[in-house]
A = this chain, B = another copy of it.
Amino acid sequence: MTYSVAIIGATGIVGQQAITALINHPEFEISALAGSEKSAGKRYADAINRNDIIEWYADTELTAEISAMKIHNSTELNPKDFDLVFSCVESDVARILEPKFAEHCPVISTASAFRYEEDVPLIIPSVNPEQADLIKTQKAKRGWNGFICPIPNCTTTGLAITLKPLDKAFGVKNVMMTSLQAISGAGRNPGVKALDIIDNVVPYIPGEEEKVEKETKKILGKNFGVSCTCMRVAVLEGHTESVFVELQKEASIEDVKKAFENFSTKINTHSTPKHLIKVFSDPSRPQPRLDRDTGGGLTTCVGRIRKDEIFGLKYVLLSHNTKMGAAAGAVWLAELLAQKGYVN
């Protein structure tokens, strides 16, 4: 059984990672790639060509098949032609386009446009798959045949994945986080300029902190203290986060390590990584360049787990922002929803 899928926003970095995650996928087949009016009608390889540089940023080779595919205009695709749509567009575009598709078919989205609406689930398969039930409410309320199911912001993802086992075992009370985010998180057009980041740190990413604070609560399904500062550093891929956590119950460092290492999921789909969390004992790890591709970029890496004199616990995590935090995470979510019967 194969589902026919369209990718809208296919020329951006997230779209590129979606293509990568879907090539050779056993269940999903790319039927259409769509982009803006400007890209429409071009071959894929031409649409991402700027001044003779092919702006392909995934770590797999751009295949000849994809290169040659014609880009459709997103606004002209017929939703009824697909079993599933992956939306990799920016939020302002998502707000307009996604409902049009959702009227007729399921939309898995990496955009933030609908994340904060009450009848819209915000799911990480390993953390809160049960939130998928909201889809029924959404369909009923909106009178749609399809639905919109977004994935969280890439900075939220690693944080929520590491907080989940802690919350289950010890209760999470307060979380303070500082992120060192990769430049790929800013996308391809225009993305981060080399002049802004070489020999530099940019201590501000518009809107990011608010997203992390709201989304972490929605995913864990509880109200608790979440505060963060998000910065950009000269790293290609992989968000590093310095996390301080106050727990409700006393927990030894050994307890915490065990909670991380034993964190598992019953979901068994094509993309499910062998380990949800990998714990490093080497104090200099995880490092983005060395560890971001652990588990195909779907495993969250954790290190430097130690006592904190104020909150009790601190650690460092690393999460691949354009894989687990974007397209590959979206594909994993689609597999989950298909398994649960939400995709036909």
Interface residues of A (CB under 8 A from B): 13, 50-55, 57, 174, 176, 178, 180, 183-184, 188-204, 206, 213, 225-227, 229, 231, 233-236, 240, 242, 244, 282-290, 303-304, 308-311, 314, 316
Separation in Å of the A91 CB from the closest CB of chain B? 13
Copies of this polypeptide in the complex: 4
Q: A194-B183, A310-B176 are in contact. Are A201 and B55 (CB under 8 A)?
A: no
Which of B180, B229, B235 is A316 in contact with, Cβ under 8 Å? B229
**Given the complex, which residues of B lie within 8 Å of A199, measured CB to CB?**
198-199, 234-236, 288-289
Assuming A200-B289, A203-B316, is B283 touching A242 (CB within 8 A)?
no
Give 27 pairs: A residue, B residue, CB < 8 Å, sorted on A: A52-B204, A52-B282, A53-B284, A54-B284, A57-B195, A176-B176, A176-B244, A180-B201, A180-B233, A190-B190, A191-B195, A192-B195, A193-B193, A194-B194, A198-B236, A199-B236, A199-B288, A200-B288, A200-B289, A200-B290, A203-B303, A204-B283, A204-B284, A227-B310, A229-B314, A231-B240, A233-B234
Separation in Å of the A71 CB from the closest CB of chain B? 19
Looking at the assembled complex, report how far the CB atom of A316 sits from the nearest CB atom of chain B, in whole angstroms. 4
Contact A52 B311 (CB under 8 A): no
Contacts of A13 in B (CB 8 A): 195
Cα distance, A310 to B234, chains bound together (Å): 29
Task: List the B residue with the shortest CB-CB distance to A190.
Answer: B190
